[in-house]
Each structure stands twice: as C-alpha cells, then as structure tokens.
Amino acid sequence: MQATLTPAGTPATPPFSRRAMTVIKALLILSALAIVGGAVWYVAITGIIGKKDWDFIRYGLAPAITSGAGFVLLAGTLIAFFTLPSLKAASTPVIHDLRRDKYLYLLILPGILVVFVFSYMPMYGIILAFKDYKIKSGIMFSPWCGMENFTRFFGRSIAGSVIGNTLFIGVTQLLITFPIPIILALLLNELKSTRYRKVVQTIIYLPHFVSWVIMYSLLFSLFSITSGLVNKLFISLGMSSINLLSNPGMFYPMLYGTSIWKEAGWGTIIYMAAIAGVDQEMYEAAYLDGANRFQQCIHITLPAIAFSVTTMLILNVGSVMGANFDQIMNLRTEATKTTVAQVIDTYVYDMGVSKGEYDLSTAIGLFQQIVNCILLFASNFIVKKMSGEGFF
C-alpha cells in the first residue's frame, strides 16, 4: 500500500495505520484497566475475606493473574507499536525523539521514579478512608466500612466550625496576600538603580528561608506576655502589654502579617521573570506617545504578566481548603488551638497522629483534597471563560 500525499507534499498516514493506531490505543487502555482492576480486586477481596481466612490460591491468584496479564498486554502492545511496519509512520518520530534526547530522558528518569515512589505509591493508603482500621490486621486485612468514617466526621459538632474556619482563612488569606507579590514586583520594576533593586530583592527574599518554627520563636521573644521584648518596652513606658500570641482576636492579623512578611518577597520571583520578558520597545513607544510610568505599568506591564497572574491565582484557589499547616501548627497556642486556629489540616493531625484514628483522619484528608480538586478545575474554567487563558 502506497502512502498518498497531502496538499503540503508530505506523506499522509495510510488508512491501515490509523486503524492499527486505534487498536493500539484500545489495547493500552485495556492493559491499564487490567492492571488497575486486578490491583483493586486484590485489595478489595483482602478486606472482605479477612486475615484469618485468607488463602492466596483461592482468593488472590485470580486478581494477581489479571494484573499480570495487564502488564504482559502492555509490554506486547508497546513492542507491536515499535516493530509493526504498518505503524512505522507513527513510531519513527517517537524513536527519533528518544534517540536524539536520550540523555535528557535519563536525566528526568530519577525525578519520575521519586514522584512515583513518594507521590503515587502512597495513594494506596487512601483506602484507609473506607476501612475500619485495625493495627494488628494492617491496611490490607482491615474490614471495609464504606462511608462510615465520613459519616463520623460530618456527624460531629466540630465539623462545621473546622470546615468554616478553613474556608474563611483560605479565602481571606488569598484576598489579602495574593496581590502583595504582584504589587511588589511592579514596584521593583520601577526602580532605576539595578544595585538598589538587588539589595531590596535580597532583603525581601530572605524571610522565605526562615522556618515557621524559628518564626514563632521570634514572635515569642518579641511578644511574650512575661518575657517579650516589645511588651517589656511597653510596660516600661507605662503602656499595657499586647497579648498577641494567646488572644484569639489577634490570631488572624498575626496569620496574615507573618504570611506576607515571609512569602510576599519570594512570590515576586515569578512575576519579575515575566516582567523581564516584556519587549522594551513597547515602553519606548508608549513614552513617545506621552504615557507616564503609571500608565505604562497599567497598559503594558500588567497585560504582559496576565498569564502568570491567572496561573498563580488558579493554583492558589485550588489550595483554599489546604490552609498553611506549618504556619498554623506553629502559631497556634492552647488558647487558640481549639477555636480560631483549628482547621482541617490541624484536625487531621490531632485525630491521626495524636489520637491514632488513622482511618478517620484519612477520610477527612480525602474530603479536603476532593474539594481542592473541584475548586482547581472550577477556577480554571471560570478564568478561562473570562480571560481566554487557563492553566490547562
């Protein structure tokens, strides 16, 4: 069969090759379903049968063979893709790319393995959310309990306050802290002295490298009621001390202030990089047309970094339910830990690590990530409809 030529003069893919590619894609999907299905079948049946009555030959052999058949089918499909003459038009560019960039692929291979081992393999633990976990039985042989762990959480009186507090902190922190790095980047871009700009950038970047443990130590040294430097100074001047650390009414301002101080400068890096890519001739043309610096910033700089802003906004909205655990965990005290400082992440920590309710804490964490995922896709959809640009 001879390949026909397209109007551009390039050989078109033969019809049989297209049919063969459809078969290859179907086999890849089938092999993936067999691998995943066999694994899910194996995990499910262990929780149903239980450890005492478990017999691998009787219960585990069939799902293991299913997954094994999936791996064999996957390997055979890949071999067919790279060896069949009818798929040469599709496989040749792939082979050429692999040969040309083989060292680059070798460089990213360790990263892929790390992500797989530490990000994908632990997903197996998600099944704890649907099990009545027993330490002696382990994850595999603990009995299934369906949605009971979710019912337990939503049935508690504290669930509403924890979810509401998490949303309140996430939304308000987004509204207050998100514009700060953009404003800082625009202001830094207006500095004419390169040396002064570098000094300012270095100063505002440094807090990012200070851990939240050290941050709380600094706050304690400054605002402790008994030994804080600031409170000692106020008392010596005849003024009343400030109960910053243990006053629930001061927790939110402290949360927003420390977040801005620590991360605002670091957040300017992305926007400064986007600004550096703006064509300088646009500024020169605007200057000749009589535009001042503020007008150039509004009509040239901001539109140029709009994609970076929307991307960061989508990512930040997608983590609204994931309030900064490190920050809140270190800044909360006995007076605030059960009220304003109790969010989903800290509640998961209290239930899982402190009280050992691993199944309940997994269910709460899974609920949190599902909401975050919904917010991520929803924000991307809305931003894409409004501006025409989205993250994906």
Q: Report d(CA 111, CA 285) in Å as an integer.
A: 45
Q: Report d(CA 255, CA 207) in Å as an integer.
A: 15
Contact 41, 26 (CB under 8 A): no
Q: Report d(CA 257, CA 262) in Å as an integer.
A: 9
Identify whether 5 is part of a domain: no
Distance between first and last Cα of the chain: 40
- pTM, 2 dp: 0.80
Identify whether 392 is part of a domain: no
Identify whether 9 is part of a domain: no
Q: Report d(CA 302, CA 274) in Å as an integer.
A: 10
34-49 b/e (C-beta count within 10 Å ≥ 16 → b): bbeebbebbbebbbeb
Q: Over the stretch 323-353, which tens digit does the pLDDT of each residue have?
A: 688 899 988 888 888 788 889 999 999 998 8
Residue 188 and residue 108 share a domain: no
Residue type at position 30: L
Identify whether 35 is part of a domain: yes
Residue type at position 45: I
Which of 146, 175, 208 is the last residue before a domain boundary?
Answer: 146
Identify whether 320 is part of a domain: yes
Counted domains in the chain: 2
Helix (H, G, I), strand (E, B) or coil at 11: strand
Q: Report d(CA 40, CA 31) in Å as an integer.
A: 14
Structure tokens at 311: 């991307």
Q: What is the pLDDT of residue 50?
A: 85
Residue 226 and residue 173 share a domain: yes
Tell the burial category of 363 from Cβ atoms under 10 Å away from its Cβ (0-12, 13-18, 19+).
buried
We report the CATH number of the domain holding residue 258 as: 1.10.3720.10
Q: Over the stretch 145-155, which tens digit does the pLDDT of each residue have?
A: 989 999 999 99
Q: Report d(CA 103, CA 182) in Å as an integer.
A: 38
- Rounded to an integer, the average pLDDT of 281-303 is 88
Residue 135 and residue 168 share a domain: no
Q: Over the stretch 39-98, which tens digit does the pLDDT of each residue have?
A: 999 999 998 898 888 899 999 999 999 999 999 999 999 999 998 888 888 888 889 998
Which of 87, 115, 146 is the last residue before a domain boundary?
Answer: 146
Residue 140 and residue 189 share a domain: no
Instruction: Identify the domain containing residue 280 by its residue range.
Output: 151-387
Contact 328, 341 (CB under 8 A): yes
